[in-house]
Amino acid sequence: MNKICIISNSLKDKDLQIGKDISARFLALAASEGIEGAEAPLLDICDVYLDVPSGMQGFIVIGGDGSVLSAAKKTMKDDLPMIGFNLGAVGYLAEVELAESEKALYKLLKDQYTIEERMMLKGVVHKDGEDEPADVALNDVVLSRRGDMQVTGYRVCINGSFLSDFRSDGIIISTPTGSTAYNLSAGGAIVDPTARLIQVTPVASHMLNTRSVILSAETEVSVMILPPKGVRPVDVGAYFDGNMSRTMHPGDYVTVTADKKITRVIRISDDGFLQVLHKKMV
């Protein structure tokens, strides 16, 4: 892989200095190894649109997991694999620490890597009787109350059949990749990120014996906002990978399914999922 587009996060990488350094070191390493035609253009993830040059073979995303999630969405049309260089706190998606970046660049140039396929979710918000434009998520689709702290009602249906009503702070619908994100904090199951399934987890549910539900990737999950028990109106945000897409009200609902498109993640480490999990959690 000698043509790789570098995407950095100017909110964490001031003046994109780290991105510029990674680009220069990639090109210098390619030259020292006698690899001709190397390219490493640099883009800013904070730009609304990413104008990826033609001929690229993959992406290096510099930032935290949020940067990788944003890059996965903004580069879907390019259908190229990506690897994250971690500037964040945890970095389940950003595999490479900056101290190991030279080794990672060498492995990329020498094609010493594997590629994992990660499923994504597609969600459609049905608001005021109309279907909003679909949105996608690599980690999760979350419904969460907005404004004053109050318990909100959610009706969850699976393939059109009623599952349960929840009184809770929110509902998380996650991919296996997203199982170690908000889902983990809410007590959901940890899942191998290469699996194909959908997990539904209530957040701080005001019910006894509430558990996550793990479903086939072919499942359609529907969540409706229920009327409040009190007199105050309820506003609920629909969040795709942490970014709010729509404000929802009682009677509005979202349907979530597996998307046809996937995200391809470059892995250069020999560590398995459990080894990575252990390193990130200790």
DSSP 125-164: EEETTEEPPPEEESSEEEEEEESS---EEEEEEETTEEEE
Which residue, among 7, 113, 93, has the nearest Cα to 53 in the 3D structure? 7
Domain identity same for 124 and 235:
yes
Domain identity same for 167 and 107:
no
Domain identity same for 65 and 125:
no
Read out DSSP for 164-204? Answer: EEEEESEEEEE-SGGGGTHHHHTTPPP--TTS-EEEEEEES
Residue ending a domain, among 59, 83, 112, is 112
Q: Which residues does the chain have with pLDDT short of 50?
A: none
Domain identity same for 92 and 130:
no
Domain-located, residue 174: yes
Domain identity same for 240 and 153:
yes
* Angle subtended at Cα 198 by Cα 197 and Cα 201, rounded to the nearest 5 degrees: 140
CATH of the domain at 242: 2.60.200.30
Domain-located, residue 198: yes
Domain-located, residue 268: no
CA 170, CA 146: separation in Å to the nearest integer? 10
What six digits make up the tokens of 271? 């560590």
CA 123, CA 169: separation in Å to the nearest integer? 20
Domain identity same for 220 and 126:
yes
Q: What is the pLDDT of residue 90?
A: 67
Residue ending a domain, among 78, 112, 146, is 112
Domain-located, residue 273: no
Q: What is the pLDDT of residue 94?
A: 86
**65 catalytic residue (yes or no):** yes
Domain-located, residue 281: no
pTM score, whole prediction: 0.92
Domain identity same for 89 and 175:
no
Domain identity same for 29 and 87:
yes
Q: What is the pLDDT of residue 147?
A: 72
CATH of the domain at 29: 3.40.50.10330
Domain identity same for 138 and 223:
yes
Domain identity same for 30 and 131:
no
Domain-located, residue 277: no
Given the residues 21, 51, 65, 78, the one annotated as active site: 65
Domain identity same for 84 and 172:
no
Residues facing 265 on adjacent strands: 82, 116
Domain-located, residue 21: yes
Question: What is the residue range of 185's domain?
Answer: 120-261
Residue ending a domain, among 82, 112, 142, is 112
Domain-located, residue 211: yes
How many separate domains does the chain show?
2
Domain identity same for 142 and 104:
no
What six digits make up the tokens of 138? 């690599």
